[in-house]
């Protein structure tokens, strides 16, 4: 059974019989779904990757005959806490959760009343994870930034220095932190003295990224490469480059996620490079983990699980003009 509940939640939240909330029609699942029932909490679906991940999780549950309820909590920590706290009494056997604030994982662990939590898309601190109970399923964010930097270094002939712009995603988000820090570390480790001429947050938005690049043009500085934490922001940078006469053929612009629009841009010779964050792979792994943990099992035999049984890291895949046709 697949059920989507969307509403603004406040106070003590119940995930059933919510008055005044829009609810999609229920899709029948296989009769052999067993007693597994998953509460899937997302702050919102205002980002291309979050939509893809949510679709993957819902589809995987449907394919496996698992009951799942998707609730959009907004960015309220209190709303998420109340949902997690009431999940056990509502008959759920596991929770899949995208934290509104990664620093609140310990609160969610305590609120879960012993239910396993599979965190997705916003990484908690390691000390707030517990083997085979509170785990994290995603891709290793540092790998994305490393792949971006390695691509640019190779494309530009391993320069000893360059002027760099970084357009970051959401402040405090693990993807923002991991991708940005890995770009900087990889450039440094390869002997490149990077001059960061402009670094700012665009909150995953193409229009905001375009505005930020427009602001950069007013500084009168040169730029050799632009690293964006996702494809949507990279597309915004490309639009600003076009309007301001910058040659994106010579100034590589990198993104992350290998979205359909991002891949189309690569095929047109605009965005130079992206990294596929495999939403389907992450969704399947998250559901497998939730089912396994709900039955008291271990994730050790799930593909890409780490030895400490706290993480499942689905690999990133580099995408450029040479292989982009495989991702369209």
pLDDT in tens, 112-121: 999 999 999 9
164 shares a domain with 80:
no
**Is position 324 within any domain?**
no
145 shares a domain with 110:
no
259 shares a domain with 220:
yes
**Is position 62 within any domain?**
yes
Domain span including residue 81: 2-138+278-315
264 shares a domain with 175:
yes
Could you give the CA distance from residue 254 to residue 247 in angstroms, rounded to a whole number? 14
**Is position 235 within any domain?**
yes
CB 193 within 8 A of CB 161: yes
183 shares a domain with 119:
no
166 shares a domain with 129:
no
- Out of 258, 276, 294, pick the residue that ends a domain: 276
Task: Give the number of domains in the chain.
Answer: 2
Could you give the CA distance from residue 80 to residue 153 in angstroms, rounded to a whole number? 42
**Is position 101 within any domain?**
yes
**Is position 61 within any domain?**
yes
155 shares a domain with 272:
yes
155 shares a domain with 90:
no
- Per-residue pLDDT at 34: 57
pLDDT digits (tens, 9 = 90+) for 272-283: 999 999 999 999
**Is position 296 within any domain?**
yes
Where b means 16+ CB within 10 Å and e means fewer, 205-223 reads bbebbbebbeebbeeeeeb
250 shares a domain with 156:
yes
**Is position 323 within any domain?**
no
**Is position 79 within any domain?**
yes
Spans of the chain, pLDDT less than 70: 1-34
Could you give the CA distance from residue 65 to residue 114 in angstroms, rounded to a whole number? 24
Could you give the CA distance from residue 2 to residue 287 in angstroms, rounded to a whole number? 13
36 shares a domain with 114:
yes
Domain CATH number, residue 71: 3.40.50.2300
Per the confidence metrics, is the pTM higher than 0.85?
Answer: no
- Per-residue pLDDT at 5: 42
83 shares a domain with 19:
yes
9 shares a domain with 92:
yes
Closest alpha carbon to 171 in 108, 237, 103, 258: 103
- Per-residue pLDDT at 159: 98
Closest alpha carbon to 217 in 201, 237, 195, 234: 237
CB 141 within 8 A of CB 175: yes
Angle at which helix 206-217 crosses helix 231-244, to 10 degrees, equals: 40
pLDDT digits (tens, 9 = 90+) for 242-273: 999 999 999 999 999 999 999 999 999 999 99
- Per-residue pLDDT at 47: 85
In the sheet that holds 37-42, the strands lie side by side as: 22-23, 2-6, 67-72, 37-42, 94-97, 117-120, 134-138, 311-313
């Amino acid at each position: 059974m697949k059920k989507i509940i969307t509403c603004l939640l406040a106070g003590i939240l119940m995930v059933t019989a919510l008055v005044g909330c829009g609810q999609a029609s229920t899709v029948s699942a296989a009769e052999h779904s067993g007693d597994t029932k998953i509460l899937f909490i997302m702050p919102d679906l205002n980002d291309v990757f979050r939509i893809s991940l949510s679709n993957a999780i819902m589809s995987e549950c449907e394919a496996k005959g698992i009951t799942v309820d998707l609730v959009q909590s907004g960015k309220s920590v209190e709303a998420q806490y109340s949902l997690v706290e009431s999940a056990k009494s509502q008959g759920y056997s596991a929770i899949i959760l995208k934290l509104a604030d990664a620093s609140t994982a310990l609160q969610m662990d305590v609120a879960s009343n012993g239910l396993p939590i599979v965190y997705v898309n916003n990484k908690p601190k390691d000390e707030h994870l517990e083997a085979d109970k509170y785990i994290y399923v995603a891709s290793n964010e540092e790998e994305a930034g490393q792949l971006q930097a390695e691509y640019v270094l190779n494309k530009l002939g391993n320069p000893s220095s360059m002027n760099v712009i970084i357009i970051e995603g959401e402040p405090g988000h693990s993807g923002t932190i991991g991708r940005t820090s890995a770009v900087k570390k990889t450039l440094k480790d390869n002997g490149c003295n990077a001059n960061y001429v402009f670094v700012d947050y665009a909150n995953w938005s193409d229009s905001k990224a375009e505005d930020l690049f427009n602001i950069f043009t007013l500084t009168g500085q040169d730029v050799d490469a632009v690293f964006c934490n996702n494809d949507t922001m990279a597309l915004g940078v490309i639009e600003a480059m076009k309007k301001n006469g910058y040659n994106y053929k010579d100034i590589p612009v990198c993104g992350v996620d290998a979205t359909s629009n991002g891949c189309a841009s690569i095929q047109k010779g605009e965005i130079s490079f992206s990294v596929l964050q495999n939403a389907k792979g992450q969704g399947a792994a998250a559901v497998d983990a939730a089912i396994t943990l709900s039955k008291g099992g271990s994730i050790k035999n799930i593909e890409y699980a780490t030895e400490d049984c706290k993480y499942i890291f689905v690999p990133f895949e580099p995408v450029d003009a040479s292989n982009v046709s495989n991702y369209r």
